[in-house]
């Protein structure tokens, strides 16, 4: 349903609805109207897309649920606004459109604009130095590292909350959060040995040196012309801002650990060639997605998430997100119930999602959620990379491209090992959340996916 709010107005107007900027994803705080598909005065029907809205995930069409006339556009295309801002007025009768030419929503600015009554910031508290008997050992190592990394002297916080009054990392964080000003660390003076000092004192003064007039520089380099080094500031889209914030939060708050494996790819290539003779075509990525889903079924600990209250939530459904590059940024549409789909079903689903993702035609429910993510850069010539977890998921699989490698022949007890062989090998790296999974579970998962990929006929079962 299109969000509407009954804002009051200073004059009496005919019956109308005020549409507001909706929250089209759980993390959306602001949005941008990219374009309006209707002009003021035009009529629309249920299902028509009134405008395109850029969210923190993608650009989504804003569909009308009822018929009506667009009486007034409150927000021009291109400007970013908080969620809940009125964007347009809709009426039921065409003759009412002209009556909204000067329509204003009372109280809308007050809701979205910062309050004029701003509380004055409190005066910063300067931490006064206190003589301590512990000397340089007054700081715990973690407190010393934190304060010195910011060039601050935290010894003035003595006595702290640690044993014998030692200052802990928590004491430093509390002081910073309370606005206490810690003195800056002065750079350590260069120490000169007494022998060097004496030698310097006894040394004869150097003979005077005639000043040398600097030679004039060529005109081409005498002036640092800013125009010779042009640059352009490109504003980030709302999607890229949210991607930056979420991935920074993930990398700084989620304890990542990594495991990788090399997988023999030739059996998959041979299988594709056999099916191609029957005019049945699918990609290596389709096989990887199918194998990853079955491996999640075998090792469900990887198909889990970390909740806000510190619990591990095991997912009953295997819904794999596939990373797709779009002009606006990376988006991860979801293939629901992936383990229940065959190769050709996965192939068709991924093609459809990827095409609509690049055309900004995905529905919000098609890129929100998911239990596991796959990022495949093999088609770009990348052989190995590390991906950042997309919370609250606990893992993401980074897939590189296959490359020929010389590998030893397999060892069979009682038989002579044959000559080395050239095989197509693919490196996959699993990034996992240590709060949810451990190294043993990650190793079991990579073993399972390797088993499926190196014996692809198991994927047909």
- Residue 300 located in a structural domain: yes
Cis preceding-peptide flag for 392 (omega within 30 of 0): yes
Out of 83, 112, 141, pick the residue that ends a domain. 112
- Residue 201 located in a structural domain: no
Out of 62, 78, 112, pick the residue that ends a domain. 112
**Is 81 in the same domain as 132?**
no
Q: What's the pTM value of the predicted model, to 2 decimals? A: 0.59
Closest to 262 measured CA to CA, from 431, 432, 430: 430
Q: Residue length, the chain? A: 461
Closest to 24 measured CA to CA, from 76, 59, 51, 67: 59
User: Can you give the pLDDT at residue 326?
Assistant: 79
8 A C-beta contact, residue 190 and residue 200: no
- Residue 339 located in a structural domain: yes
Q: Which burial class, exposed, middle or buried, applies to 26 when counting CB atoms under 10 A from its CB (0-12, 13-18, 19+)? A: exposed
- Residue 234 located in a structural domain: no
What tens digit of pLDDT does each residue of 249-298 get?
Answer: 999 999 999 999 999 999 999 999 999 998 999 999 999 999 999 999 99
- DSSP reduced 3-state for 453: helix
Measure the CA–CA gap between 389 and 391, rounded to whole angstroms: 6
- Could you identify the residue written with the tokens 């993510």? 373
**Is 101 in the same domain as 143?**
no
Q: Which tokens go with 137?
A: 């050992």
**Is 135 in the same domain as 51?**
no
CATH number at 266 reads: 3.30.559.10
81 DSSP β-pair partners: 31
Residues in the chain predicted with pLDDT less than 70, given as ranges, are: 1-11, 25-27, 56-57, 106-137, 185-229
Measure the CA–CA gap between 47 and 49, rounded to whole angstroms: 6
Measure the CA–CA gap between 148 and 171, rounded to whole angstroms: 14
What tens digit of pLDDT does each residue of 420-429 get?
Answer: 889 999 999 9
**Is 152 in the same domain as 44?**
no
**Is 168 in the same domain as 37?**
no
Q: Which tokens go with 275?
A: 């099916």
**Is 287 in the same domain as 317?**
yes
User: Can you give the pLDDT at residue 268?
Assistant: 93
- Could you identify the residue written with the tokens 């994803």? 25
Number of neighbouring beta carbons within 10 Å of residue 331: 23
**Is 394 in the same domain as 438?**
yes
User: Can you give the pLDDT at residue 11?
Assistant: 53
**Is 297 in the same domain as 171?**
no
- Residue 353 located in a structural domain: yes
**Is 139 in the same domain as 32?**
no
CATH number at 177 reads: 4.10.320
Out of 53, 80, 112, pick the residue that ends a domain. 112
Query: For residues 89-125, b (16+ Cβ closer than 10 Å) or e, as one string?
Result: bbbeeeebbebbeebebeebeeeeeeeeeeeeeeeee
8 A C-beta contact, residue 131 and residue 124: no
CATH number at 40 reads: 2.40.50.100
Q: Which tokens go with 262?
A: 């090399």
**Is 24 in the same domain as 169?**
no
- Residue 349 located in a structural domain: yes
Structural domain containing residue 165? 128-181
**Is 108 in the same domain as 173?**
no
CA angle, 84 as apex, 83 and 89 as ends, to 5°?
A: 125
- Residue 329 located in a structural domain: yes
User: Can you give the pLDDT at residue 334?
Assistant: 93
Number of structural domains (the chain) is: 3
- Residue 118 located in a structural domain: no
**Is 88 in the same domain as 158?**
no
63: DSSP letter? E
């Amino acid at each position: 349903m299109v969000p509407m709010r009954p804002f009051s107005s200073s004059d009496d107007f005919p019956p109308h609805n005020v549409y507001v900027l909706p929250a089209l994803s759980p993390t959306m705080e602001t949005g941008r109207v990219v374009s309006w598909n209707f002009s003021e005065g035009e009529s629309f029907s249920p299902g028509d897309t009134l405008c395109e809205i850029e969210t923190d995930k993608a650009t989504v069409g804003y569909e009308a649920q009822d018929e009506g006339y667009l009486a007034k556009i409150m927000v021009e295309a291109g400007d970013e606004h908080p969620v809940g801002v009125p964007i347009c007025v809709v009426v039921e009768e065409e003759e009412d459109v002209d009556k909204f030419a000067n329509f204003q929503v009372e109280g809308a600015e007050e809701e979205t604009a910062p309050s004029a009554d701003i509380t004055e910031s409190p005066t910063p508290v300067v931490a006064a130095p206190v003589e301590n008997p512990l000397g340089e050992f007054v700081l715990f190592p973690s407190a010393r590292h934190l304060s010195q990394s910011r060039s601050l002297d935290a010894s003035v916080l003595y006595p702290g909350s640690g044993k014998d009054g030692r200052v802990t990392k928590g004491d430093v964080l509390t002081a910073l959060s309370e606005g206490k000003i810690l003195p800056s660390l002065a750079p350590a003076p260069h120490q000169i040995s007494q022998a060097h000092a004496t030698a310097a004192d006894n040394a004869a003064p150097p003979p005077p040196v005639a000043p040398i007039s600097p030679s004039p520089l060529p005109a081409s380099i005498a002036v640092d012309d800013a125009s010779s080094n042009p640059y352009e500031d490109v504003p980030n889209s709302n999607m890229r801002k949210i991607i930056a914030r979420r991935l920074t939060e993930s990398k700084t708050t989620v304890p990542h650990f990594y495991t990788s494996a090399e997988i023999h790819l030739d059996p998959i290539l041979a299988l594709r060639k056999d099916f191609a003779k029957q005019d049945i075509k699918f990609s290596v990525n389709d096989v990887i997605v199918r194998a990853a889903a079955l491996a999640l079924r075998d090792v469900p600990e990887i198909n889990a998430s970390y909740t806000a209250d510190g619990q591990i939530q095991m997912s009953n459904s295997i819904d794999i997100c596939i990373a797709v590059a779009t002009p606006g940024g990376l988006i991860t549409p979801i293939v629901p119930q992936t383990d229940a789909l065959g190769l050709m079903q996965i192939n068709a689903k991924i093609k459809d999602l990827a095409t609509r993702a690049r055309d900004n035609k995905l529905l919000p429910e098609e890129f929100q959620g998911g239990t596991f993510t796959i990022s495949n850069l093999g088609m770009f010539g990348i052989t190995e990379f590390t991906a950042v977890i997309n919370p609250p998921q606990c893992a993401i699989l980074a897939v590189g491209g296959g490359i020929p490698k010389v590998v030893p022949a397999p060892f069979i007890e009682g038989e002579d090992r044959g000559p080395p062989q050239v095989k197509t090998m693919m490196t996959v790296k699993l990034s996992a959340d240590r709060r949810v999974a451990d190294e043993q579970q990650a190793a079991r998962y990579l073993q399972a996916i390797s088993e499926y990929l190196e014996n692809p006929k198991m994927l047909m079962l």
